Amino acid sequence: MSTITNPKFQIYKSGTEFRYRLKARNGEIILHGEGYTSKQGCLNGIDSVKRNSPNDERYDRKNATNGQYYFVLKALNGEPIGVSETYTTVSSRENGIYAVKTIAPTAPVEDLS
């Protein structure tokens, strides 16, 4: 049985880099960002996700080499700002995109760094 948690962005450190992940209501990670050299850079990345996530044209739907599916969320300038986990079906990937569209714009940020 899954634990229900509030959807949220989490900032955490990996080595010397600050990273973010977006967690769904069930606690699963549905999007993660690249590493940033500063916490402010990471916060800027989260702000970009919040602004761009409602726009379907910002999602690049991809096929992984292992036959699974994932998506990349891009900023207005075409630069990637977030990558999903992999999904076993196209339908699951679309559900992941829908979740990011609905959760990201208002998700609170939890700082674990």
Residue boundaries of the structural domains of the chain:
8-111
**The whole model's pTM is what?**
0.90
Whole-angstrom CA distances from 50 to 53, 62, 76 are 6, 21, 12
Q: How confident is the model at residue 56 (pLDDT cuts 50, 70, 90)?
A: very high
Q: How far apart are the first and last CA of the chain?
A: 28
Q: How confident is the model at residue 57 (pLDDT cuts 50, 70, 90)?
A: very high
Q: Among 60, 26, 32, which residue's Cα sits nearest to residue 46?
A: 32
Query: CB–CB of 63/95 below 8 Å?
Result: no
The pLDDT value given to residue 1:
42
CATH domain 8-111 topology: PH-domain like (2.30.29)
Q: How confident is the model at residue 3 (pLDDT cuts 50, 70, 90)?
A: low
